[in-house]
Every structure is written in structure tokens, then in C-alpha cells.
Amino acid sequence: MKARFISLSLISVAPAHLRGGLTSLYQFNITLGILVAAAVDVPLVKRGGGWRIAIILQSFPALCLLIGMIFLPRSPRWLVQKGRINEAYDVLLKLREERDAQQELKDILQSWQDSGEDEVSWRELARGRTKQLLMVGIALQMLQQLTGMNALMYFGPRIFRSLSLEENTFQAVNNAVNCLSTLPALYLADRCGRRGLLIWGTTGMICACCVIATVGSFASHEAAAAGPTSMAAYVTVSMVFTFVINFAYGWGPMVWVYCAEMFPLRSRSRCVGVTTMSSWIVEIQHEDRLKSRLRAEDCDSEVFSTASPDTSVESLTTALEEDYKVKKVLGQGKFGLVQEVVRKGTKQSFAVKVVSSNKQSEDEIQLMASLRHENIVCLHDSLEHDEMLYIIMELCSGGTLRSWIEDRYNEHLNMQVYTAPPKRVLANCIWQILDALKYLHGRGFVHRDIKLENLLLLNAGKCPQLKLADFGMATEFQKGELMTQRCGSPGYMAPEVVRGGYTELCDLWSVGIVFYQLATGKRLWPLTPTHEQHYDQVLAETPLTLKSDAYWNRLGPGALEMAQDLLSLECSRPTAACTIENDWLRKHVLGGDDGWGRFSIVSAMSWAHVFSAEETRGNYLIAQLSPVLLEGLGLASFFVFAGFSAAALGLACWLPETRGVALEDIERLFDERFGAARTVSSKAKAQILGLPQPAEEVSVLVGKAPCGTEEQGESDAMAAELGRPGKGREVQKQGSSDFDSVVK
């Protein structure tokens, strides 16, 4: 409602020569609000209960808007529609000079009579010229979303993360660029024209999208080797901001200007409402998929906004039992107990890890609080009670990856036979683990305890979405420095961890072990408890040989080589960022070798949409292609955005220029575009071309001035055309007491 009524109000009261800039002010204030809100959120995110303060703060602008609406004058066109011409003239006198107010009122009355005095019905919107204009407005609003700006705002941090850049930097810089780049539209909309800004902006967006999709591939591939200083990464980042700049002065504000001024008076309100609704339909699809994939943002179900959850490490005054009800025990390990609990107020389920309160546990909470990734368990809250620490996390109800593997064993001829998962399912599992590690290592942390038990399934199924858990052994590392502390689980520890002196690549060894177990259903070394105590001897005495057999042949060429690279006894194994680019992995992640899988965020997909019910027979259907591309926002998806931008460019070239044209004449401009017989008035053409008004129209406007002044003559001409004797300046002196009756 706000988006609809604010644009209508601005259009109604703005003079023709300022209408574009004033309406663009609506979009500028939106971007300014986003920038201010993001700046305010920075300290609130780190504060306990900060989301409550955010909710309170955002009520103040709404209160100011409510108070301001009380003093906002009614739309003169709406008053004319309701027959309240006297009030319409009073409003125009407050906003215009007398001569301009009279001329505008005459134009409004003429437009009202030409289009019909009754308000258009909903059925009439689907017929005739109104239907054609409505389709143009809907196309403008939908293309504004489909060109990729909102998807970029949502998933831009992931692009930065894939380039080994600080993702929080993107939010700060991007919000500032978006706000400042909207300012030129306020000045240029009524000088260079709306159509020109749309064409220039769309051209820049197309170029930026194509460069991001091509150069970004090299940036993503070189990020691990060349680091964030890669030239390709810098080019990609600059093109991202180029896209934002061109959208901010073009399609951001100009769409609202066109949609508010292109419709006839009697149907304008409803048509603007329909076009605004079409914009929000696409916007809601983005937001809905964002919330379903970025589960870290909806951990606190007490509010339905995007306020950040309370992840601070602080001692709460209430005990666990006061807010949560224990449902069952999920598991127990050497360091603590894991239970499933239900929050009493919201009935939302969580997993609670109960451990002794010590520095290691507090460090684990601090680390989890800083992580936001779709394949890492989300921390909801933490509280301390009786020297015990309760770590409240996202519940993964599908069990562990070990239990999922065990469920794939079936009895056959009195033997337990392992049914390996399909190639694409296996590849997606490994891809998710690598994506989580790429994010973790990029932030300067190493896990050091990757194993089947610490890989949780969000939901049970044949195509699991994995979550990396248990950061009790995780620590921060410095690039190039060796760690010496021996930690991890026997059977998963890398040889260099046993020897002492290792880097973050020890996690990749563990991924290789998991890969082997997923492919074969068995451990690389079937360790007994005695062997686990002497794991270093097992590594030294047992040769590591991976041979091509039925298991690896089934996976196709490249799978065995990838496992051998991960399980290299030397410390030269590839990084997570490089391994995720492996040809075999890329080929099977999206089921194609056309390069699309290489740059797509596969773990951001909804698995139920990606795989059909016949997945066990190897028949995979990728459904909802466009939402998946927008949702995953792979770099190659920018080719899709470039395609939508090309369609937007075609529409922008077709649109007529409305700069400086009275609202009542804009309909005639669109009639010309549609090939109607109605022609644009000579006055409208003169305004478009910036020429002097035709003499005959000037004489009609000015009329005779019996009192000797041009201004008085205009008043008399206005009164004469409306059937009233000329009284010169008496119109303004007497106000509008008898103006309504004269018009009637």
C-alpha cells in the first residue's frame, strides 16, 4: 500500500517539470533507509537482544510517516473524480502559481470528461487500451526485479565469499553505492529524460553481467592460488558495483515514475496497484527462497522479520527448563550430551548440547556465532547454569551421515551388501562439505574433526542436505603457519597431524576419508580399539593404495583421481576452493558438463525441486530452472540476468519520452506507440521537443486581457472557457467560494 500511494501522491502534486525528480526521491529515500538501517544494525548484531532494539527503532520512521500523512494535501485529480472541484482548486493554488493552477485544473477536467466520469471497474482493466498499458506497467515492474538487482543484494555476499573477499564489506560498500548512485536520477530525470536513463542504465547492466559471468569464473578459480588480490577478482567486484550504479539511476527510480504517470486518470489508482503487486510477487519469491535457504536468519521464530538472532555469549538469568521442554536424548559423546528440546512459546524444536563451562566451550560458541553458511549448523542461543553450558543449535532431524550410510546396507544371501548412492547424490554430498570448508577456511578457521558423526542431515531422505557440526576442536590459523597440537578422531586424522606440523589442508584428508566411505560403504582402515590407540603406527605400517575396482568404475572417470588427490600422504593436496572445481565433481553436481555447475551454489537449492521421485533409477529432473538460478546465483546466472536486461532494453527503447509532458497528454503519447488514431497535441509535442508553444495554443491559453495585464487576461480566459464572466484577479481574492458552482 505504501509503495502504491506514495508514488501516486508524488505524481499528483508534482509539477510537470519536476515530476520525474520528485518521484525518484521515493526510490532514493528507500536506498537511504537501507543504508541507515544497515549502519544501525552493525552494533546491534553484537548486542544481546539487539533485534528488540531494531524493532523499536524502525517504528519511529513509521510514526513520522503517519504524522506527515495528516498534513499531506489530497490529490487534485482524486478530488475532481469525486466531484469536489472547489477543493481541488484550493489544493492547486497551494502548490502552483494561479495561472498554472487554473491551466492544470482545466486539463484535469478535460481529461476527466474525455475518459469518462465514472471510475473504471476491475473488469475494464482487462479490456482495450487500459489492458495494453497495464501489460506495459507489469512488464516494467517484473523486469525491474528479474534483471537481478534484488538477487544480487541478497546473495552478493556469497559472491564475495567465493572470491575469498570479506563478505561484510560488500554490504557496507554496496549499500553506500546504491544510495549515492540514485542521486543523479533526481537531477537527470527532468533534464535528460526517463527513457534515456533507462536505456543507459540497461546497457551498463548488460555489460556488467556479461563481464561478471566470464571474468568471475577466473576469479573463483584463482581465489585459492592467487588470493583476494587476484586481478580477476578485482574486475569482478568492480563490475558488481557497476551493475548496482547503472540500476540505481535507471531502472530503480524510473520504473516508479513511468508506472505512476502512464495511466489515464480514471484507472490510474487501480492500475498502479496492480503493477506494484506484480513487483512484490517477484520480490516475495526471492525473499521466500532466501529464508528457506539461509536458515541461519530464521533461527529465532519469535519474530517474522529478518532481525538477527541473539548469538552473544552471556549468562542468562532463566534456566533452560523455564523456556524449553526436553523431548529426547539425541546422543552422547566424550565431552557432552545432546538433547532435542521444544521452545514452550513457539513450539520450535532445537538441539541442545550440554557441556561443562570452560574456555574451550566458550570459544566454540564464539566461533559458531560468527558463522553463517547453509551447510554449517546455526547457533540459536546459549546459556549458562550451574557451571554447565547449554549450546542451543539448529535441529537436524535426519541423523548423522554415518546412520545414513548404515541404512543403505541390505541383507542379500545372508550378507550385508552396501548400496552406494547415485553418483549425483554422492557428488552433491561432497560438494556441500567442500563448500562449508571453503567458507570456514576463508574466514581463517580449521575444523580438525571432520567425520561422519559430525556431518548432520537436515532432513531424512535419499538426497541429504548436510550440516557441518561440532566445532569443539576448531581453531583459528594463520596462512603459512604450521599447527602442532594433535587432535581429531582416529581414522580421520591426516598423517601430518599425527607427525606434528600441519595446515588447514588436514581437513581435506578427512573429506577424502568421507568420500571413500560414501563410495564403498566401509572404512579405509577397519580400526580396532587397540589400533585407535596406536593410530600413528597404523599409518606408518599400512600402505595406502586406492585401486580401480567396481566401486570406482561405477562412479566414472575422475572420481578415483579426486580421492587420490585428497588422500595424498604429502601436504600438497588441493585446497577446498580448488577441489570444488574438480571436473568430476562439477560434471555430476548439476548433471551436465556445460560449465553451469561450476559456478552455481548447488547447496542453496531446494533438494526436493532438484531431484525427482525416480532418483534411485538415475532419472534426475531439474525443476524450476529460473528460481534455482536466481536462488543459487552462480556466476553463470549473470548471463540469465543479462538476457532479462536485454528484454528490458528493448522495452525501454519502445517507451515514449514523458519528460515535461502534462499527465493528461501522456496517454496520447502511448496511443501513438500502440498505433492509435489519436494524435498528440501540438502543445505536448512542443514540450517534448523543447520548442516554444504554438501561437494558436498560446492565444487560447492567454486570451484577451481587457484590464491591460497578461496575468489578469489569463484568469479571464480561464473563467470564460468555464462559462464565467471575467473578473481578473478576483478569482484569487474571492478564493473558490463560487468556483465549484461556475464549473458545474
**Residues making up the binding site for ATP:** 353
Q: Where are the beta strands (DSSP E) in 480-543?
A: none
Q: Say how far apart CA 226 and CA 232 lie, in whole Å.
A: 10
Percent of residues in the chain assigned helix, strand, coil, to nearest 5: 60, 10, 35
- Cβ 471 vs Cβ 368: under 8 Å: yes
| β partners of residue 329 | 339
Specify the DSSP class assigned to residue 376: B
Kind and range of the H or E run holding 456: strand 455-457
Q: Is the dihedral of CA 287, 292, 297, 303 positive or negative?
A: positive
Host H or E run for residue 100: helix 98-115
Q: Could you tell me how many residues make up the chain?
A: 744
Q: Which of 617, 454, 484, 7 is nearest to 262 (CA)?
A: 7
How many whole angstroms separate alpha carbon 664 and alpha carbon 284?
Answer: 34
Burial class (CB in 10 A: 0-12, 13-18, 19+), 380: buried
CA distance 714 to 679: 26
3-state secondary structure of 587: helix
Contact 205, 243 (CB under 8 A): yes
Bridge partners of 457, per DSSP, are 466
Nearest to 627 by CA among 298, 287, 149, 209: 287
Question: Residue 499: how many CA atoms within 13 Å on its side-chain side?
Answer: 13
| CA 43 – CA 41 distance, rounded (Å) | 6
> Strand, coil or helix: what is 151?
helix
Alpha helices in 590-729 (DSSP H): 607-610, 625-632, 637-654, 663-673, 682-689, 695-702, 710-721
Inter-residue contact 125 to 271 (CB < 8 Å)? yes
Residue 677 makes CB contacts below 8 A (sequence gap 6+) with none
Nearest one of 286, 285, 260 to 273, comparing CA atoms: 260
SS3 track for 705-727: CCCCCHHHHHHHHHHHHCCCCCC
Say if CB 429 and CB 464 are below 8 A apart.
yes
Single-letter residue type at 88: A
Binding residue ranges = 353
- Of 134, 49, 151, whose CA–CA distance to 627 is shortest? 151
| Measured CA angle at 157 (ends 351, 573), to 5 deg | 80
C-alpha cell at 628: 534455482
CB atoms within 10 A of CB 522: 12
Between CA 148 and CA 663 the distance in angstroms is: 31
Q: Answer for the pair 261, 658: CB distance below 8 angstroms, yes or no.
A: yes
